[in-house]
Structure 1
């Protein structure tokens, strides 16, 4: 038995998680579209449309209130009364399907402001401009060694971890361990909403502790706030970068002429990233708890109300975006996607992920114009927040 293991605590938590997943399956089988989202689907967008059809705020049988309405989402994200946890940092009250939210360092808007002196130097325009050169070197190095036919394992994840690690000061010798910890922590954001297997929950906890320990061993990150920012960027920006690249490539290869258009003009990479954030973003939902009574969309919601905002659904709203189900590189004068609008993904993680994904797409288009799909992408289950393929089979990745 691992040192420090607590069998009684593991049994209690494991039973709660198992019961939550069982209830999730039952409620989904009874037709609750949000319960089906929590269970996981290769294509969740029809479920988002079903949620939208149920009105601006849908009270799911899971206990959560759910919205896919862009106006409601924008209003909540701008209102400081809606938080990730209680005003004192305590967890939200459990729903029939538990919400495991807690005061994640850096998650609240006021925490972003407090931590700004620690994260701003990492993502200011001058730093990111220089960092793009680092990302470019990592992309080219990875393509030089590319083998196999999985874009995620062969390119997107290695680039995301190596580039982010370089920005955060991870020594080269520690990069393999850093990549392992980031991969183990990938489901953290999903675990705040959807019950995960006990072994995965413990692995996430160990990974976050390992990242904190890794950064604690660096001379420039002895201060707890510096470590918190680097852990935040590791658990948010690394998967966002990897899945932003994966989702963009998948969409471009699926859209007739999409990949060829980017290869003809690799400077369209920023447009491809922006369109991916609308069409199939790596962050699908934001979660908030009302710290005080709130009136929203004509309803009086008590303090403690749990609201899930399907931000990805706003990108497929035809009142905001013409031809919402088409991936187009020529969109202009349309509303900004609500992805990265708040929470763990706000400001530092969003700026870093977008910059890294733009470089990664441009380099891939320049170096691998013959890239083409070779199979069906594989997605994780119980992943209602972070969306991206676990595997993305392609041909041409290892070409020289």
Structure 2
């Protein structure tokens, strides 16, 4: 048994998670599309369409109110009455399928004001302009030693962790451990909605604790800067890797797209923007009503839990012509709602976009013959964070 393990706590949490997964499975079998989303699918977009057919919001038997409607999503994300935690700042009340965890550090307005001074210098335009050179250096270093096989393990994850680690001042000697911890925390956002297996939950806890220790002060005191660095590590590293993976997968799916990007690498920013619309790395936001709120004509009491499927808004035909086509020539369309999820995304979104743009540009310039060699593999029970676990390609190891 691992040192410090608590068999009673493990038994109680394991039973709770198992019961939640069993209930979720039953509700999915009975036809609730949101329950099926929580179980995970290689292609969740047909399930999003089924939710959309149920109206602007609908009350899932899981206990959550669910919406794919862009107007509802935008309204909730802009309204401070919808929070990441309960009205008093405590964890949200458990739903029939409880989400595990206590919200996102720095998510609320008061915490955001305290942390802003610590994250803004890292992601302001001048800092990111300088950081792009670091990202490019890491991309080229990885391409010098990578072989054909899996784009995620060979390129997307190493670049995301090395570049973010460099920005946050992770010592070179600790970068391997840092990458392991970031990967270990990958399922954190999913665990907030979908009950995970007990070993994975403990892995997430250990990874977040490891990141917290990595950025800890020498005297053991709490540091707001440490919270920012843990947030950026746990959120920005997986999101960067997933965004690169989703973009490459979409670009390789139709003949000629990758060649177009290779001929004109300046399209990398358009490719990232289109991926955020078409298949974003963050697909869902969850909020809790701090007070009674009327939403889409329905009065919801304080404590109501609403799930916003922001990825579905990118496939809304009223917002985006030909929503199911990945196009690099979109103009004058609404910004994707991915990464529009409130204060906790403010430090994450610009960093992820910048890193993904450089990673795509560099890859397209250096590997114009990149091509798919197999079917992507996705994690189960991952309703929030979307990206391939494996993306088999050829042409990655060419010089």
Work out whether residues 84 and 343 of structure 1, in 8 Å CA contact, stay in contact via their aligned partners in 2: no
Identify the residue that residue 142 of structure 2 maps to in structure 1: 142
Deviations 1:15-68 (A, max 9, x none): 000011111111111111000000000000000000001000011111111000
Q: What residue ranges of structure 2 are gaps of 5+ in the alignment?
A: none
2:296 and 2:109 map into 1 onto residues whose CA distance is 23
Which whole-Å CA distance do the structure 1 matches of 2:21 and 2:222 have between them? 39
TM-score (norm 2): 0.98
Q: Which residue of 1 is the match for residue 262 of structure 2?
A: 263
Give 3-state SS (helix, strand or coil) of 1:142's partner.
Answer: helix
8 Å CA contact retained: 2:106, 2:344:
no
1:219-234 alignment, distance < 5 Å: 224-234=223-233
Measure, in 1, the Cα distance between the counterparts of 2:53 and 2:113. 36
Match of 1:20 in 2: 20
TM-score, L = length of structure 1: 0.98
Matched, 1:243 2:242: yes
* 3-state SS of 1:389 partner: coil
Check the 8 A contact 1:35/1:62 in 2, yes or no: yes
| Distance of aligned partners of 1:315 and 1:263 in 2 relative to their CA distance in 1, 3 Å threshold | same
For residue 159 of structure 2, what is the aligned residue in structure 1?
159
Number of paired residues?
399
Aligned-residue offset at 1:308: 0.3
Q: Report the Cα offset of residue 361 of structure 1.
A: 0.2
Shift of 1:343: 4.7
Match of 1:119 in 2: 119
Deviation at 1:112, TM superposition (A): 2.1
Q: For 2:213, what is the secondary structure of its paired residue?
A: helix
Which shifted more, 99-108 or 302-311?
Answer: 99-108
Q: Distance in 2 between matches of 1:316 and 1:113?
A: 34
1:10 and 2:10 are equivalent in the alignment: yes
Aligned to 1:99, what secondary structure does the other structure show?
A: coil
2:340 corresponding residue in structure 1: 341
**SS of equivalent residue, structure 2 residue 306:** strand
SS of 2:149's partner is coil
**For residue 203 of structure 1, what is the aligned residue in structure 2?**
203
Q: Contact between 2:112 and 2:343, CA under 8 Å: does it hold in 1? A: no
Residue 369 (structure 1) aligns with: 368
Aligned twin of 1:30: 30
- Partner residue of 1:66? 66
Structure 1 position 132 matched with structure 2 position 116: no
* CA-CA distance at 1:140 after TM superposition: 0.1
1:277, CA displacement in angstroms? 0.2
Aligned-residue Cα RMSD (Å) equals: 1.3
- Stretches of structure 1 lacking an aligned partner (at least 5 in a row): none
Does residue 47 (structure 1) correspond to residue 47 (structure 2)? The answer is yes
Q: Is the 8 A contact 2:108 2:344 kept in 1?
A: no
Q: After TM superposition, what 4+ stretches of structure 1 lie above 4 angstroms from structure 2?
A: none
Q: Give the C-alpha shift of residue 217 in structure 1.
A: 4.9
Aligned equivalents of 1:63 and 1:343: distance in 2? 23
